[in-house]
Structure 1
Amino acid sequence: MDLGIDRQALVPVVQQIVSAVAEWIRKSGVSPGTRLPSVRQLALDNLLSQSSVIEAFERMEAQGLLASKQGSGFVVAQPPTVHEVHWYEGAEQGWGVFTDSSLGELKLGCGWLPDAWRESDDLSYAIREVSRIDIGGLFNYSTPLGLPALREQLLKRLTQIHVATSLDRILTTHGASHAQDLLIRTLLRAGDTVVVETPGYGNLYRQLAFHGVTLLEVPRTRGGPDIPALELLLRSHRPKCLFINSLYHNPTGTSLSRAVAERLLELARSEDFLIIEEDVYGDLQHASCTRLSALPHDGRVIYVASFSKTLSSALRVGYLSASTAIITQLVHLKTLTGIGTSRFAEAVVATLLANGTYRKWVQRLRKRLSTQMAATLQVLEDEEWQVFAVPAGGMFLWARPGVGDRSRLQACARRLGVLLSPGALFSPTGEHSEWLRINVAYADDQRALALFRAMGPARSTSTILKTTSM
């Protein structure tokens, strides 16, 4: 079995082994109980250490992909009898549904990293360290503001990106969605009006609508919200808040320009509204950028971020920074509705921040995403897809085929097993759009490449049918 190990790649060798063997199992269609090559033989054929192969197989056994048999080595595991479906934010049937592989295995438009990109060793080490050192404290509730050790690390991080704050103005949450929910319930009431970007994050639209808040749409341009359109809205309405995604915007991948940022702050002062700035992809920054929170704003900007997109969605660790008065209200609601956040999860993240592991991880991640972004842009250019903007970083592209229609695209994607995130999912009203969110971390998969080619120019019907029947 040739695993195609690339020793120059940013991905650790053990993870490459896991990905290659999992891909072999998927493509070959082998039945449960099929014996894999021996550890010794696989290591010999691929010039690997046996310890690396053993570690990879043990990970796959923990994931339920392999099973070990005494005297027989490792075999393909029996699939679980109970099929667990997973939440997927971009399923074609509607936002935030639970889905399974019947809708498509390759989630080309999802908002997180592939499992194969995850580096579990450092996370496992941090978990062991926390369990060893803080075993007594792990059984207690966290403090109302969040774990002090984590907030100290967050203060250092925010200082590095020029966001002025203090320990008593940082609140930890169960991810960014929890932070947004606390803010909505604290700052807004049913019937209030807010401004949201469109396209934008669908789950935010639904959170606001759930609380009876009226949404005003402002188009997202390559440099941020459309200022003339926003000024027109402000003259006709009195919105309480503007929700914005400044860096590597979801779904367009664009970032806020300095001129637009400064005008937004001027409008916030003159028209008396707050700005909630979500920065969940900000750690992917590898170029100069503009954050509203890093500019003088007189307490008009609330900063929201999390580690779900870069580190682990399972840990559910997020945070926000706001004025002391707002933090006081948020702490009361957080304590009332959930007692507190997970002391254990926050201790793990604090450990990764303190020992430098997280910093090194995101450095590798930026490089890998940058390579994938360039490669995906080249493929789309070759196939004459239209790209809304060339992002300066992050993981998203907002693109559409240069030719073809929606039904053809959907049919092709389904035949290839590709699950799309179409533009309607990023509209408050579900308005139809030909644009798609593409996560470049998934775009080098052969199914994605086949889709890009099939929707390119001058593809004959026979070529399309041949491609989509692969």
Structure 2
Amino acid sequence: MSPHMCPPCVRSIHDSPLGELKLGCGWLPDAWRESDDISYAIREICRTDTGGLFNYSTPLGLPALREQLLKRLTQIRVATSLDRILTTQGASHAQDLLIRTLLKAGDTVVVETPGYGNLYRQLAHHGVTLLEVPRTRGGPDIPALEALLQRHHPTCLFINSLYHNPTGTSLCRAVAERLIELARREDFLIIEEDVYGDLQHASCTRLSALPHDDRVIYVSSFSKTLSSALRVGYLSASTALIARLAHLKTLTGIGTSRFAEAVVATLLANGTYRKWVQRLRKRLGTQMTATLQVLEDEEWQVFAVPAGGMFLWARPAVADRSRLQAYARKFGVLLSPGALFNPTGESSEWLRINVAYADDQRALALFRALGPTRSTSTILKTTSV
């Protein structure tokens, strides 16, 4: 099987026109950010660590940050130790280090579909063959995965366990346990991305929290919850693999930002990040409930009702992509269509909706416009929203 080559995005959501509502983006609105806390942390480290700010971080990452990460991972029952934790420049950097270290051109991996488009492109860039397993409400489709495993011998499975991007679903216990059984039996590694896991409201199932004999590599980041500008991520794996990854990290980039890592370490140590995430969960929960109600009123189909997080995977009652794009342009809304979350770029009527943006009048107008009782002539006469 030849690699699935992911087509480049024709229009990047990062480069959209000023003022356009990014309804399908993967980050929080600027108005939701609490910059005062970051400003305080910056002043604090400038006051107490002036000499260290001018130095490189250590190969594994800033010790103070790794100590805080060890505490956090212990709290979510991920068994690890300081020598099993490596800091990175965000989750994408962690994924890149893993791809470069574990895979070579022609290797085969399993990815979820729908799933994270940038991961598909990273893998395709390195000539890796992608096998698609459908994402269900409880995780990867196990019968479909078993059928793939019978025909192929993948090196890795990439999975987004909690508040999955883009469907918002979370891994159930039975599926998680079966995945680890299959990894042992078929001899493959699982790379578990958990960048939205801090948004959890209750106990959730992580593969990394189950006994796995180093079959699972845990990847996370503060880019989605705290700041994408800081570019601080991390991973946990076996000590042998961490040593290889640290060598590649040093070889290709010297190291990560000591300054950015010190900021995050300060926010973790003084409890600021914990309190911020608690407020964020509550706010997103309110938005999720309200958005689900609006979509139900307008008879949109929702793939699943998430237990938390920021994403909904939905499609309008009127399945007409040309109308959808026309209305999106009309109301100044930038969409993230299903094609972005498919390894082959196959068109789809499904959309990723970020609920943090869904109470904007432009989004509400779009939801109403694509309800089953709306007429094209009525909507197109709308001059303001």
TM-score, normalized by the shorter chain, greater than 0.5: yes
Deviation (angstroms), 1:98: 5.1
- Which secondary structure does the structure 2 equivalent of 1:216 belong to? strand
Match of 2:122 in 1: 207
Cα separation, 1, equivalents of 2:13 and 2:289 = 31
Cα separation, 1, equivalents of 2:261 and 2:349 = 40
Contact map agreement 1:179 1:318 (CA 8 A) in 2: yes
TM-score in terms of structure 1 length: 0.79
Structure 1 residue 254 corresponds to structure 2 residue 174:
no
Contact map agreement 2:214 2:237 (CA 8 A) in 1: yes
Percent of residue pairs identical: 88
Q: Choose which of 148, 158, 165 in structure 1 pairs with 2:80.
A: 165
- Which secondary structure does the structure 2 equivalent of 1:231 belong to? helix
Task: Letter of the 1:99 partner, please give it.
Answer: D
Deviation (angstroms), 1:100: 3.3
Which is greater in Rg? 1
Contact map agreement 2:13 2:25 (CA 8 A) in 1: no
Deviation (angstroms), 1:461: 2.3
Task: Letter of the 1:225 partner, please give it.
Answer: P
Structure 1 residue 295 corresponds to structure 2 residue 243:
no
Structure 1 residue 363 corresponds to structure 2 residue 262:
no
Q: Choose which of 213, 226, 231 in structure 1 pairs with 2:141.
A: 226
Deviations 1:178-237 (A, max 9, x none): 000000000000000000000000000000000000000000000000000000000000
Which consecutive unaligned segments of at least 5 residues does structure 2 have? Answer: 1-7
Deviation (angstroms), 1:464: 1.1
Task: Letter of the 1:94 partner, please give it.
Answer: V
Cα separation, 2, equivalents of 1:139 and 1:199 = 43
Contact map agreement 1:173 1:318 (CA 8 A) in 2: yes
Cα separation, 2, equivalents of 1:136 and 1:162 = 35
User: What is the number of residues matched between the two proteins?
Assistant: 378
* Gap change, CA 1:307 and 1:444, over 3 Å in 2: same
Match of 2:5 in 1: none
CA RMSD, Structure 1 to Structure 2 (Å): 1.2
Match of 1:106 in 2: 21
Deviation (angstroms), 1:469: 5.4
Task: Letter of the 2:46 partner, please give it.
Answer: S
Q: Choose which of 376, 381, 390 in structure 1 pairs with 2:291.
A: 376
- Which secondary structure does the structure 2 equivalent of 1:101 belong to? coil
- Which secondary structure does the structure 2 equivalent of 1:260 belong to? helix
Deviation (angstroms), 1:467: 3.3
TM-score in terms of structure 2 length: 0.96
Contact map agreement 1:415 1:469 (CA 8 A) in 2: no
* Gap change, CA 1:407 and 1:116, over 3 Å in 2: same
Task: Letter of the 2:75 partner, please give it.
Answer: Q
Deviation (angstroms), 1:94: 3.2
Cα separation, 1, equivalents of 2:13 and 2:280 = 28
Q: How does 1:243-322 map to 2 (within 5 A)?
A: 243-322=158-237
Cα separation, 1, equivalents of 2:210 and 2:348 = 34
Structure 1 residue 146 corresponds to structure 2 residue 61:
yes
Cα separation, 2, equivalents of 1:182 and 1:96 = 24
Deviation (angstroms), 1:460: 1.8
Contact map agreement 2:284 2:310 (CA 8 A) in 1: yes
Structure 1 residue 462 corresponds to structure 2 residue 377:
yes
Deviation (angstroms), 1:403: 1.6
Cα separation, 1, equivalents of 2:163 and 2:359 = 20
Match of 1:94 in 2: 10
Match of 1:433 in 2: 348
Cα separation, 1, equivalents of 2:127 and 2:269 = 41
Contact map agreement 1:416 1:468 (CA 8 A) in 2: no
Match of 2:40 in 1: 125
Deviation (angstroms), 1:293: 0.1
Q: Choose which of 328, 353, 375 in structure 1 pairs with 2:268.
A: 353
Deviation (angstroms), 1:345: 0.2
Match of 1:416 in 2: 331
Contact map agreement 1:285 1:394 (CA 8 A) in 2: yes
Structure possessing the higher relative contact order (Cα contacts under 8 Å, 6 or more residues apart): 2
* Gap change, CA 1:341 and 1:106, over 3 Å in 2: same
Structure 1 residue 197 corresponds to structure 2 residue 126:
no
Structure 1 residue 156 corresponds to structure 2 residue 71:
yes
- Which secondary structure does the structure 1 equivalent of 2:283 belong to? helix
Match of 1:79 in 2: none
Deviation (angstroms), 1:95: 6.8
Single out whichever of 93-102 and 255-264 deviates more from structure 2: 93-102
Contact map agreement 1:450 1:467 (CA 8 A) in 2: no
Deviations 1:267-307 (A, max 9, x none): 00000000000000000011221000000000000000000
Match of 1:19 in 2: none
Match of 2:4 in 1: none
Task: Letter of the 1:123 partner, please give it.
Answer: I
Which consecutive unaligned segments of at least 5 residues does structure 1 have? Answer: 1-91
Cα separation, 2, equivalents of 1:95 and 1:416 = 18
Cα separation, 1, equivalents of 2:370 and 2:311 = 19
Q: How does 1:176-187 map to 2 (within 5 A)?
A: 176-187=91-102
Cα separation, 1, equivalents of 2:9 and 2:81 = 43
Cα separation, 2, equivalents of 1:146 and 1:108 = 35
